[in-house]
Amino acid sequence: MPTDADVRNVDAWLFDLDGVLTDTARVHAAAWKTTFDEVLARRADGAGAFRPFDPVEDYERYVDGKPRYDGVRDFLTSRGITLAEGHRSDPPDRETVHGVGNRKNVLVLERLAGMVTVFPGSVALVKQLRGSGHPTAVVSASENCAAVLAAAHITDLFDVVVDGRVAREQHLQGKPAPDTFLYAASQLGVEPTRAAVVEDAPAGVSAGHAGGFALVVGVARRASTEALTRAGADLVVGDLGELLDAAPGA
């Protein structure tokens, strides 16, 4: 179990966005449910075969923390459904992997308008770290990351932002692969062995663990402590405010 010294003995901190910094994971889960239930209902045989998307178990297992289109593929595959890939420009009513993903994004943008809130303990920790000279980054699969940071008024708290757009431009694999975290660390100029990753999704925790980061902190909001620990978290907290006394700058 990491000690206070372990928490203090890192040079940089890399944070996921949804569910770690902002209370937006629930918005994503609700948008996924509406989107997938529409697809599943169209494919039901009318004899009670419709089994809706579970916004807790299915969300955590198949889509949380992953790039949007990977989430579409992984969940639909779990239900034995294969769709044509389509194209990024597919309209949201087209039943392709990209069309379904774009439908979900439309719903997210509608629901996020005017309702982005932050977790106070998370913002307090980031400010404390920056006050003690520690660089910070946001590493998110979301292509709406910049808009969410701006709406939450926390853009200036981060030196580097690696989101879904950056991942696509740099040809980085999404979580649970460690690529986006490793890229963010390189942009900050620190080795993974001198940096901490903070995640609320098992896929993101697995990415931090696979990247060889010095400390992987799980935040148990939707996923359980057990699930985050199994994925490779060194430390699990219910809220990042719990780290204020142990973190640099305390």
Q: Which residues are catalytic?
A: 16, 18
CB 207 within 8 A of CB 228: no
Report angle CA 166, 189, 126 to the nearest 5 degrees: 75
In 90-164, where do the E strands start and end?
Answer: 136-139, 160-162
Backbone angles phi, psi at 47, to 5 degrees: -115, 40
**Class of residue 133 by CB neighbours under 10 A (exposed 0-12, middle 13-18, buried 19+):** exposed
DSSP state, residue 198: E
Backbone angles phi, psi at 89, to 5 degrees: -85, 0
Torsion sign across C-alpha atoms 74, 97, 28, 41: negative
Distance of CA 114 to the CA centre of its chain: 20
Q: How far apart are the first and last CA of the chain?
A: 20
Q: Over the Cα atoms of the chain, what is R_g?
A: 18
